[in-house]
Chain A
């Protein structure tokens, strides 16, 4: 079993250079926050603030190979969901573009059927499910509408889809609020899979699941990626899951990609000081009661990110230059990192 798995990994690794299924090219997304009435009052009291800007995603470029599972990790608030929503075409980029299977996503020529190939599993399942729709309708409507199945097949289809995500058949006749958090998350996964997408963007898809169901979902995603060549952008803060599932991983910090590499390489030889700090934190039940040592220093404000390298105020090895100039991305195609110290050093 295990050796077969690593063979699969190898063939997928090789196809990496050949076909890039999704190309994210220099994508930037800025948000403006305007103060409301209560805030204007606070502002006058000297508390709140005027309009503010956040660059949630800052000039990000990624290539996702067909059939691969691409992991995206990074601190809360670093821009992972924003990037995921742009890739899913749910949010426009301020600049840059996303090319999906050789077609730019903002191209008007994309047909609804083509867009169906791109599905997203949301971080917050409750907000993404229609509260008045029965699960049966939630998970079969798209498939019927787009002719994936005929209407008379819907019950069988729903039951088998529910079984795949570990839910019993009686779930089909209930409403979203009548489920537990983890069950709702799996309804979101079933809905996304119902239209047989080629590309799946998963935003923390197993965060609310206990380890046993999590294992079932991860096994399901691995099967789909092997048997149906499903490509995935997999956002997660769980490094154990990412290491297990992903072929390639990008590490994001304050809107930028600071490192990306094949998963095995990244976990064995992290290059960027932030990646190193992140990996040191990985928890385990064996560690028992322990004091985690948070990464030193304040998390910088996204409203006023640090100059130079964004990580430098918290970086244990920063030199003077790091506070002055932004480091370029260096390394070879396979393993890229954005750090001055790597630049001068070995590679």
Chain B
């Protein structure tokens, strides 16, 4: 829980840019992302829909398919640059050293195999287990993510589960192999708070026990407040603010972070219009020069047409010409 438990850097993303070269033009969903992740640490990643959170995760896992590619930058996992290794070597790391819980559970789950069978396949790929042992492990894993009657659920097919159950099965599968780095992409969107909190506690404990590290992509700031050590705020393919949860949520300095926090329903009267940040995010095909938030920003001035510098140090930084 304390920062004393946080250890060495396990993942370092250095100036990562990922592009999709389509007929319509070149999309730049990830445009110079930097962050470090230490063992025992949970980093929350928040940001507007389409800001590049999932593409960042997929880039780390080496799962960007043509016409997409990593254009530049480095991704160092325990010092090894994943952008330099080939697919067969990457496959050995995927699942074991770094694993991803996908935003859409059906990316992970095979619709024609039962849950028990899918656990078995995953466990056997990374650990030497027999069928019976695998089923015992699977049952325990499903129980820990709050699925009632876990033993019976091993015989269910994905379509026989509710949306939230499918998400929890994916979490259980990803955790089962004990990877060093877990990238969880909106893994609890379909879950109510009670079950979400149970999973958050489980994940927190596992991360600390195994000395692993976790990237938790979410749009839910209350989850960030309750789970994470640090938080990165993404906008149009860049991290615009990063720091400890307390620092960023209590004293946000980037105008986008401030707008995000003001959009949370709760203080608005029921049935009234909610505060929304005016305008929309830029298309990844046509990023404005300089600060991508400038067209929507009340503080914007001519200087915002130049790329804002990153202010601060390794613990906290903000990219803005006029931070609050």
Contact = CB atoms under 8 A, between A and B. Distances in A.
Interface string B36-66: 0000000000111110011100000000000
Nearest to A124: B163
B103 interface: yes
A198 interface: no
Contacts of B47: 210
A124 B163 CA distance: 8
Interface of B: 20, 22, 24, 46-50, 53-55, 103-106, 113-114, 116-117, 131-132, 135, 139, 146, 148-149, 151-152, 154-157, 160-165, 168, 185-186, 189-198, 200-201, 219-227, 245-246, 249, 259-261, 263-266, 268-277, 280, 283, 285
Contacts of A294: 194-195, 197-198
A215 interface: yes
A288 B225 contact: yes
A77 B162 contact: yes
A76 B193 contact: no
- Nearest 4 Cβ contacts at the A-B interface: A182-B49, A76-B164, A292-B197, A301-B149
Interface in A266-303: 277-278, 281-292, 294-295, 298-303
Given A38-B114, A77-B148, A244-B271, A218 B265 contact: yes
Given A38-B114, A212-B260, A288 B273 contact: no
B48 A212 contact: yes
Q: Which of B49, B113, B263, B277 has the most CB of A within 10 A?
A: B49
Given A244-B268, A283-B222, A303-B149, A291 B201 contact: yes
B50 A182 contact: yes
Contact of B116 (A1, A48, A168, A181): A48
Interface in A1-41: 1-2, 5-6, 8-9, 31, 33, 35-36, 38-39
B271 A9 contact: yes
A181 B48 CA distance: 11
27 contacts: A5-B271, A5-B273, A31-B160, A35-B155, A39-B116, A47-B139, A77-B165, A80-B162, A170-B283, A173-B24, A178-B22, A180-B54, A181-B54, A208-B219, A211-B265, A212-B263, A213-B48, A237-B193, A243-B265, A244-B268, A244-B271, A245-B271, A283-B220, A283-B226, A292-B226, A299-B146, A304-B149
B255 to A, nearest CB: 12
B135 to A, nearest CB: 5
Contacts of B201: 291-292
A291 B273 CA distance: 32
Nearest to A184: B104
A342 B24 CA distance: 63
A287 B155 contact: no
Nearest to A123: B163
A166 interface: yes
Interface in A63-102: 73-77, 80-81
A284 B197 CA distance: 13
A263 interface: yes
Contacts of A170: 24, 283, 285
B249 A285 contact: yes
A289 B225 contact: yes
A71 to B, nearest CB: 11
B116 A215 contact: no
Contacts of A45: 131-132, 135
Nearest to A41: B131
Interface string A200-231: 00011001111111111011001000000000
Given A2-B269, A282-B193, A287-B226, A181 B285 contact: no
Given A9-B270, A212-B277, A219-B273, A295 B49 contact: no
Contact of B156 (A2, A33, A207, A292): A33
A48 B154 contact: yes
A241 B265 CA distance: 7
Contact of A244 (B157, B196, B270): B270
A52 interface: yes
Contacts of B277: 212
A36 B114 contact: yes
Contact of B269 (A6, A76, A303): A6
Given A168-B283, A285-B224, A294-B195, 8 more contacts: A35-B155, A38-B113, A45-B132, A76-B163, A81-B163, A181-B104, A211-B265, A244-B271
